[in-house]
Structure 1
Amino acid sequence: MSNGYQPVSCATEALLARMVSSGEIAEIFYRDEAGQVQQVHDVIRDLFVRAGESFLLMERRQLIRLDHIFSINGQPLGQPLKNSGVA
């Protein structure tokens, strides 16, 4: 994986912020540091920035860098996000 952080869209960050507030379980597909596809089903507890990179903190204490995520709840990123139903 490239170490150069690539900022994600404002729409993606807004969706993730709503998911933090909702406390619902999210299905996230991402690439780990070795480039392998990983899947997680967990509650997103926090969305934060550290050293200029944005991360999710999952309920089980796992950190996921936002620019490594390529799908949230079955919707590929890089496409216009549909309303997830999360209020």
Structure 2
Amino acid sequence: MKSVAALLALMVAAFLVASVSSDAGRSACKDESEVGQTYPHHFDAAKFWLCEELGTAAREVDCPSGLAYMHLLKECIPWASYIWKKPEMPPTVA
């Protein structure tokens, strides 16, 4: 019985890992309104996504050392001033 429960737990964990994309929050840049816009990186606050060209997925950008990306301000700010907010998805997702 323990082996069945362990197998079930392993399957659930594998499903959850597979369903989380490493590109979560990455814009696909398929809408003109996205070009030139930045979007928060869902897994690393010291990074953000930059949509540079229509039809080309956004590029991952690192904030300078010691800074975090604040989507409400659309800029990298000192960690001491950073406030986490639930990230939203861009209009189109890569």
Shorter chain as denominator, the TM-score bin is: under 0.3
When normalised by structure 1's length, the TM-score is: 0.27
When normalised by structure 2's length, the TM-score is: 0.26
Higher helix share: 2
Structure with the greater alpha carbon radius of gyration: 2
